[in-house]
Structure 1
Amino acid sequence: MKNPFSFRWPWRALNIRNKMLSFYVAMILMILVINLSVSLTAFRYIKVFDEKLSVYYDIQEYRLAWVSSHESFFRYLRDRAQGQQELYFSSIPTLWQFFHQMKLKANTGLQAEFQLTAIERGMTEFFRRAGYAIRMLDSGDSNYYRAYVDARRVYDYVSGYTEILLNINLNAGSQTYAVLAARANNVRILSFISTAVVGGAFFLFAVLFSNSISRPIHRLAELSSRIAGGDLEVEILPVERADEVGTLFSSFNAMSRSIRQMVEGLKEKADLERRLHEEEISMERMQRSLQEARFMGLQSQINPHFLFNALNTISRTAMFEGAEGTSGLIKSLATLFRYHLRDPRKRISLAEELTILREYLSIQQYRYGDRLRYSIESSVRTEEIYVPAFTLQPLVENAVKHGIEPREEGGEIFVEVQRRRKRIEIQVRDTGCGMDSEETEGMIHASRERDGAGIGISNVRERLALFYGGREDFLVTSEKGVGTTVTISIPADKKGGEGCIPF
């Protein structure tokens, strides 16, 4: 089975060596990224600066060519040297080439465009007037000097326009330089901050990484010392990593479980021996309780066959005499005698137990009259549910004696059987005197001393526990002046044991 955190947390799946290598690689990559970013930014700024310098160079180159062309023109007029004329005419294409090259780079705005337009028109006019002056000179016209003066005036205008264009580009370059200088300063600050942040992050990671190794080892050493001192109830260390520390944790957990299981096995053996001894004591106590119940039942078995025959004879005589009520009472009494004479260890169906209750309550109702009212209801098939004999009759008897009889106005007894999911709930409730908490505890644990006869509630509770193996629930609730409720909850699938309740 794959470790569930190997996909969610790849870092935890690495061993310590690979973690350190990953850390160093990440650190180098971050430094390289910072240096590369700074270098690229500096290269971009240098390129912009070079472009500005190139504009200045082109303007200056044009100015030099413009001055040289004018000087060649002026020397030819002054000296009539044929070489100066050729030099002047050869400079014109070069000058136009420099101009177009300058126009491509120096056109930085509306003002620069205006100056370039003026320069272009001025050059055209200069070359026209200069050509006119040369032709006048070559033809011998003495007024060529006036044409030269006109050309010189145009030359001065073009030189002024060129100077203005240079100043415009110098101003734009100064602004660009100021922006680049501010950006370069920001990049320098950002580079410093990035370096500091990356350094701090790596330092923090180094601290956390060392703690992730040292703290688990310290914890492991602490738990090992506790086990060595005899404390075996140490917690299981969570294995959330696949490196050497995770291997140590897994090995420690396995060792801790093995030691704990071995000690728990020894404790279970000792506990088993103790519980066997307690069960022997419990069985002996239950045997005494059942023997006592058997003895009390035997006390009432004085010549049982004679009593049954006598009761039957009296019942038939009463029937012949027309005393049907007396006959019914005698039959109920005979049924109760027969029930009390059976072996208390035997199981009995819940239906038969309810029948005995009806016989008992019919006798008691005849005795108490309107002071006693009762109701027995069942919503389940009680023929298939088995309980120990003498389970409900002692509870009802206790309700009559201690709940209904002391009240002058009497009261009611309700017996209800119903299913609660997979359990059967039997409830015996009366509206008698009720008890406080101390009296309730005394009734549960010392009922025989209170009753003086019959099978006490504590005996019923013990036999239910023995019959159902501890799967039953036995609850007594009571309120002074309101009444008492005894609730028994047993498994619905319990159909009784094959034998009887053991002594």
Structure 2
Amino acid sequence: MYQKLRELWLSTTLKHKLSLYTAMVILIMASSAVFNVWVMDFTLDGFDKILSDNSRCNDFQQAMELEIDAFESYVRERTEEHWEEYILSCVRTERCIRALPFQYSSIGEERYARTWNIKNSYEAYSVFREQILKMNEEESGYITSLYRVYDMQDYLKDYARRLVQVTLSKGNETYQRQVPVFYNIPYLILAVSLCLTVMAIVLTRLLSNTLIQPVVKLAHNSRKIARNDFSGEDLAVPNRDEMGELVAAFNKMKHATEGYINTLKKNNEMAGLLHGEELERMEMEKQLESAKLELLKSQINPHFLFNTLNMIGCMAKLEDAATTEKMIYSMSNLFRYNLKTSEQFVALNQELKVVQDYVYIQQMRFGSRIRYDSDIQVNGGQVIIPAFTLQPIVENAVIHGLSKKEQGGRLYLRIWQKENCVIISVADTGVGMTQEQLESLKEGLKERRSAKVGIGLGNIYKRIHILYEKGEMNIWSRRGCGTVVQMVIPLERVDETETVTKKADEEKTGRKEIRKKEPDSENTDTGEADEKTAGQIGRKTEAESRKETS
């Protein structure tokens, strides 16, 4: 039987289940309401009957007493007011007599006899009372008749008192018989409430097992699928209603979604591989185009440019134009270094020679506005640094710092060793930068944006951080004071003899056996201050810029 009912419940549609559940809930609520009404009616009916009988008997006793008082007042003083009061009291008494319970089956033998005596006695009393009131006080027999009325009133009062006593006694007996029932009513209410509560819980649990729990399981698995977690077994519910169909459809959707996502992952992986191959192909095409451009550039023979400059230098020598000759040789050295240096790393001396040639040319251009000083505390032939490192920074100091300052300034190059690193500092007393410009420059260097920092400075910053794990490049600047660029490069050394020999071979190739002693760097300063003063200003600029940044 239970199995059949269970199968019937599982196969019932959700609509019918909800309808049945609603009907059962309404039935439980209605049963509870009917039971409560019955308990209240039973309780109140017993008390109401006792209280009602007591009240009616008491009302008759009081009405009789009031009528007697009104009769005496009217007999003593026959006024209109006393007459009205007497009539009202009589009407009240008659109404109370009619209201007295007079059913033998419900009030019992004794109360019925008392009530019957009262009704008959009052009827005879009323007739005799009216006759007395019609008599004149001076007539014979008036007094005798009056006292007879008083005696009849005393009898009625006595009947009323006995009726009240009997009614109270009967009511008390009835109450005592019902007291045990009243005491058991709370327990009965509790028992019925528990039964109805159990029924409600059973119905709720039954509905929860077939409706709520499957929905909770669906929500839980939906959250797992939202996290791309398709693990776990399929949902299984015994329902054969709409919920069972929904769970079956959800399981199918889960497998379909899992397969679709796996397919998308494989497609994304394949697309990533294809994209990587496409990038490699584009990079190869870019390198090929660059190689074609370099090949086109290399078609212009650099020796033609070098030989032409050397020939102009020879002509300047024949004409005793020493300054012109040195400028041409400096320019030739710059071209040769830029066009023929293919190594990624060079000796420090080569970079210093390029800086000297570049500063000499700029001093010839700006005259005493540019003053140069250097302090090299390392062996330049044994220290290796990335090629094209110093000249672009010195060029930035001249173009963006010193040339924009009307009175010019000093350029100070200082190189020293600290632990296992070579520190290169290029300081100038030019126009400097504001704090906003400096922060924008640093941000552009970190984000590798050439538009903000320029190709030369950005390329040096990038190469230092790529080639050296501990390499650094710092910039300090103050508006109106100057700028300091400092590079920290891990120390690498080569054989000094090998470096010097290589440098000599390069110079020999480019000059066609023209030998001339180059001017010392000390003579490149054409300014007003001496070498010592320039060095002090350069160091002061570097120190002030560091202090401002911190």
TM-score range, shorter chain: 0.3 to 0.5
When normalised by structure 2's length, the TM-score is 0.35
Query: When the two structures are superposed, what TM-score results if normalisation uses the length of structure 1?
Result: 0.38
Find the structure with the greater CA-based Rg.
Answer: 2
